[in-house]
Amino acid sequence: MTHSHDDHAPIQASEEVSEFEILETAIRELSIEHGLFSREDHRRFSEWAESVGPSGGSRLVAKAWVDPEFKKRLLADGTETCKEVGIDWRDPTGSGTPSDYTYFYVLENTPKVHNVIVCTLCSCYPRPVLGMSPDWYRTPNYRRRLVRWPREVIAEFGLHFPSDVEVRVHDSNQKSRFMVMPMRPEGTEGWSEEQLASIITRDTMIGVAVPQVDWTATTPPSDNGGAAR
């Protein structure tokens, strides 16, 4: 099978304005014009949404790593179990939003199965637990290629798996959101939930990275004073 150069362009953020951004702008301006909300409402919501970040997801995974019963509940019903850490997907005045009225699934990685998430239609993403999606997640390049060549795409992020590890791609939709529960790395025995949460970064919960004991979202590998130590 041959693939075009465009099909194998590296995953990266695009500076081009997408059709979805054009549509969002048009709908937003019409909504403001018709009085559904004001520009101030939109500004305040945007600031709130951008402040959420992936800490909610990190707390969920860290707690699941140390509490087997919590882990069972989280895998069985992610939407309901999120409430135990203060995240309510159905409450637009809390950490959910009207567009996030959906069912939330947590996908457990194992030595033989690696999960990764995408939204091939647009950019559906588990915002209440991971915050705003990264730019590259929304690019047609990532969305189109991940479902066709998942191993090749995640290799561009530095992940390489032997042939006996199954790579499963989960495609988000209007009513379903997914998050990956990465495997707990060796060398973290005896760590607190707070220490564990520090190495569970956004990309590990998307599925394009795995947790490293010497790397956090705020402390790069070259810094020997790693926060989790």
Catalytic residues: 119, 122-124
114 φ/ψ angles, rounded to the nearest 5 degrees: -120, 125
DSSP β-ladder status, 166-171 and 103-108: unpaired
Beta bridge partners of 176: 103, 173
Structure tokens given for 9: 């362009």
68 φ/ψ angles, rounded to the nearest 5 degrees: -60, -35
Q: Which of 59, 130, 62 is nearest to 96 (CA)?
A: 130
